[in-house]
């Protein structure tokens, strides 16, 4: 895991460089996939769900990264937190819980081949409140600019930005709370 390169991508992303942020999330997801598959050896289907859940968290909470610390420490702390939350949810549903036999996060190999997630973000998007869903659809999926989206919907630009931001947070919550298929 190249801390220096990831850190540079993260900082560029924080400054608004979409391509750098995309690369950061892509590399993080490979690392996370290896990490979660390693810890959920008896439940590999859940690993991709956790990758997606953590990627959403890394994006919506990217403001919590403090550049005086390593970025890998930051995202592994979030990944571990999501894993513990996942295990607690499984326990509450009376499902099996993975055995505590895991390698050090730094030693696990990244995995680029994604499997299918069990939860479908597309379906969850449909469950968002209309304003949030529309904002995300126009700006994030259809790649319209905020200006264009404002003209289409008649809402203000700041209103759209707030709705997008809230929508992603709602998505994170739906993803977390929804039991897998």
Binding site for other proteins (CB under 8 A): 13-19, 21-22, 25-26, 29, 48, 51-52, 55-57, 59, 61-66, 69, 73-74, 76-78, 80-81, 85, 114, 116-117, 120-122, 136, 139-141, 143, 145-146, 161, 168
- Provide, rounded to whole angstroms, the least separation between the CB of residue 155 and other proteins: 15
Query: What burial letters (b/e) apply to 16-34, b meaning 16+ CB within 10 Å?
Result: eeeebbebbbebbbbbbbb
Least distance to other proteins, CB of residue 94, Å = 20
Taking the complex as a whole, the smallest distance from the CB of residue 111 to other proteins amounts, in Å, to: 11
Given the complex with other proteins, which of 40 and 57 has the nearer CB atom? 57
Instruction: Tell me how far apart the alpha carbons of residues 95 and 90 are, in angstroms, rounded to a whole number.
Output: 5
In this complex, which beta carbon is closest to other proteins, that of residue 43 or of residue 168? 168
d(CA 98, CA 95): 10
Q: How many C-beta atoms surround the C-beta of residue 150 within 10 A?
A: 18
* CA-to-CA separations, 56 to 26, 100, 170, in angstroms, rounded: 12, 25, 11
The answer to whether 101 and 40 have CB atoms below 8 angstroms apart is: no
Min dist CB 19 to other proteins, Å, is 8
Pick from 10, 12, 25: which is nearest to 70 by CA? 10
- Lookup: tokens for 171: 């998505």
Q: Identify which of residues 108 and 136 has a Cβ nearer to other proteins in the complex.
A: 136
CA atoms within 13 A on the CB side of 84: 6
Q: How far is the CB of 53 from other proteins (least distance, A)?
A: 10
Q: Which is nearer to other proteins, 25 or 40 (CB)?
A: 25
Tell the smallest beta-carbon distance from residue 102 to other proteins (Å): 17
- If the CB atoms of residues 78 and 108 are measured against other proteins, the closer one turns out to be 78
Q: What are phi and psi of 32, to 5 degrees?
A: -65, -35
Return the structure tokens found at 149: 């989206």
Query: Is the CB of 2 or the CB of 148 nearer to other proteins?
Result: 148
């Amino acid at each position: 895991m190249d801390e220096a390169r990831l850190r540079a991508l993260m900082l560029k992303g924080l400054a608004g460089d979409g391509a750098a942020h995309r690369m950061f999330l892509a590399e993080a997801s490979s690392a996370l996939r290896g990490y979660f598959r390693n810890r959920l050896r008896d439940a590999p289907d859940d690993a991709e769900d956790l990758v997606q859940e953590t990627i959403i968290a890394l994006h919506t909470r990217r403001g919590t990264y403090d550049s005086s610390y390593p970025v890998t420490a930051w995202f592994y702390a979030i990944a571990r937190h999501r894993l513990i939350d996942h295990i607690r949810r499984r326990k509450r549903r009376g499902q099996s819980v993975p055995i505590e036999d895991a390698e050090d996060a730094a030693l696990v190999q990244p995995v680029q081949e994604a499997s299918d997630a069990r939860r479908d973000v597309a379906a969850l998007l449909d469950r968002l409140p209309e304003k949030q869903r529309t904002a995300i659809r126009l700006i994030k999926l259809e790649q319209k600019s905020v200006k264009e989206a404002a003209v289409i919907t008649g809402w203000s630009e700041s209103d759209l930005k707030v709705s997008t931001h809230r929508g992603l947070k709602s998505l994170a919550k739906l993803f977390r709370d929804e039991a897998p298929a």
